[in-house]
């Protein structure tokens, strides 16, 4: 029997003893209901108060039985309550320790600050796209069941505090997204995260128009305004419905199996310093190279077939996930999966 059922059973048994004692004194001694209840309680509590009225021999015998059975039940109830409290606290402590241990072992993971509407969507999209470990930070303990249900690691705390970010593994993280409703908190998290890990990729949520510059100055690599993006997509859906439908179909529809991925070219790439047409990417993997981001920051859209692949480039490719993984390995990303 688990602790909760133990506790419920013991409390129900104690209430039953009190009811039996009250009815017993009322029937045996003929007392009023309140006097019978009072006598039952002081008897079970063994406080030694004087009886309400002198007891008959039958009443004395009933009191003996009530003391023997009732005091044992009180002790059992108290022990169940203590067990329930201690085990609950112990489970909480052990659970937190286990989570912190798992988080401390993570490498190249993403930290999501805030599990509200925006943060929840960010987590879902990352989970669908790549098997990348996530750590969610939020102060609201009522969200814990939802976070656990989706299988995310989490840390209950204030993401604006340095120690909280450290416990979430920011020193070994690949990126962090600040998705809180408070713009001031997002700025503060960005400043703190950049100070702790200069190489970290920081994605910040902007609230009001014009706040993007503030977050960029704080150290954000990319700033996103959900309201602006939502308005832009609605406008595009009205003006260019077929284009919007194609983009959604090609990149978001799970039935198509298509994915758009950015793949960096590492130093041990097998396709170093050769052109796109010579690489055979289109022929071997049935992938479309949509763009190439050069090390200078220049973005080449729809690159020509004679464009050469260089170390440090990032290829933006569209195609089947399995083929994208093959290309990642060919470009030197040995951990691609």
User: What is the tally of structural domains in the chain?
Assistant: 3
187 and 284: one domain? no
CATH number at residue 41: 1.10.287.70
Lowest mean pLDDT among 69-78, 101-110, 159-168, 279-288: 69-78
Residue whose entry in the numeric block shows the structure tokens 């006598």: 39
Q: How confident is the model at residue 5 (pLDDT cuts 50, 70, 90)?
A: confident
Q: What is the mean pLDDT of residues 234-243?
A: 89
Kindly state whether residues 201 and 264 are assigned to the same domain. no
Residue 252 within a domain:
no
From 212, 230, 248, the end of a domain falls on 230
Residue 166 counted as domain residue: yes
Q: Could you tell me if residue 247 is inside a domain?
A: no
Separation CA 258–CA 309 (nearest Å): 23
CATH of the domain at 309: 3.30.70.1450
What CATH number did the domain enclosing 163 receive?
Answer: 3.40.50.720
Mean pLDDT of the chain: 85
Supply the Cα-derived Rg of the chain in whole angstroms. 33
Q: Is residue 245 part of a domain?
A: no
Regarding whether 161 and 89 lie in a shared domain, the answer is no
Identify whether residues 139 and 207 lie together within a single domain: yes
Q: Is the pLDDT of residue 87 over 70?
A: no
One domain for residues 115 and 226: yes
pLDDT at 250: 67
- Among 230, 249, 270, the domain boundary falls at 230
CA-to-CA distance for 181 and 231, rounded, in angstroms? 18
Domain C-terminal end among 44, 75, 102:
102
Same domain? For 113 and 93 the reply is no
pLDDT in tens, 292-327: 999 888 999 999 999 999 999 999 998 888 898 899
Most trustworthy range by pLDDT among 103-117, 209-223, 236-250: 103-117
> With contact defined as beta carbons under 8 Å apart, do 137 and 155 qualify?
yes
Of residues 49 and 243, the one with the higher pLDDT is 243
Whether 220 maps to a domain, the answer reads yes
Pair (61, 121) in one structural domain = no
Higher-pLDDT residue of 332, 204: 204
DSSP calls for 21-90: HHHHHHHHH---HHHHHHHHHHHHHT--PPPSSPPPHHHHHHHHHHHHHHHHHHHHHHHHHHHHHHHHHH
Q: Average pLDDT, stretch 103-114?
A: 93
Residues 34 and 111 in one domain: no
Q: Residues 86, 118: one domain?
A: no
Is 111 found in the same domain as 226?
yes
C-alpha distances out from residue 208 to 115, 129, 224, Å: 20, 29, 11
Domain limits at 216? 106-230
In a domain, 246, yes or no: no
Structure tokens at 259: 């994915």
- Model confidence at 206: pLDDT above 60: yes
One domain for residues 87 and 13 = yes
Judge if 111 and 225 occupy the same domain. Answer: yes
Burial level of 160, CB count in 10 A (0-12/13-18/19+)? buried
């Amino acid at each position: 029997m688990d602790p909760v059922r133990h506790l419920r059973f013991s409390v129900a048994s104690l209430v039953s003893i009190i009811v039996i004692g009250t009815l017993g004194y009322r029937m045996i001694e003929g007392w009023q209901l309140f006097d019978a209840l009072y006598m039952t309680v002081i008897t079970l509590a063994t406080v030694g108060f004087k009886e309400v009225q002198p007891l008959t021999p039958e009443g004395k015998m009933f009191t003996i039985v009530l003391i023997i059975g009732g005091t044992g039940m009180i002790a059992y109830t108290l022990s169940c309550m203590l067990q329930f409290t201690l085990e609950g606290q112990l489970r909480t402590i052990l659970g937190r320790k286990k989570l912190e241990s798992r988080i401390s072992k993570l490498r190249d993971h993403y930290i999501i600050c805030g599990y509200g509407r925006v943060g929840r969507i960010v987590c879902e999209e990352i989970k669908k796209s790549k098997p990348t470990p996530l750590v969610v930070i939020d102060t609201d303990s009522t969200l814990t069941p939802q976070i656990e249900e989706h299988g995310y690691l989490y840390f209950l705390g204030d993401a604006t505090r340095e120690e909280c970010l450290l416990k979430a593994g920011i020193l070994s993280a690949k990126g962090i997204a600040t998705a809180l409703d408070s713009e001031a908190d997002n700025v503060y998290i960005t400043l703190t995260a950049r100070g702790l890990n200069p190489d970290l990729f920081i994605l910040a949520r902007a609230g009001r128009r014009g706040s993007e510059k503030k977050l960029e100055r704080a150290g954000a690599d990319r700033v996103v305004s959900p309201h602006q993006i939502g308005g832009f997509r609605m406008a595009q859906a009205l003006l260019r419905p077929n284009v919007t439908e194609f983009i959604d179909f090609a990149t978001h529809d799970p039935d198509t199996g298509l994915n758009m991925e950015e793949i960096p070219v590492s130093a041990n790439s097998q396709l170093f310093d050769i052109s796109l047409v010579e690489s055979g990417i289109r022929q071997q993997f049935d992938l479309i190279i949509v763009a190439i981001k050069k090390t200078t920051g220049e973005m080449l859209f729809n690159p020509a077939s004679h464009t050469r692949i260089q170390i440090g480039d990032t290829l933006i490719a569209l195609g089947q996930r399995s083929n994208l993984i093959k290309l990642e390995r060919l470009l030197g990303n040995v951990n691609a999966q």
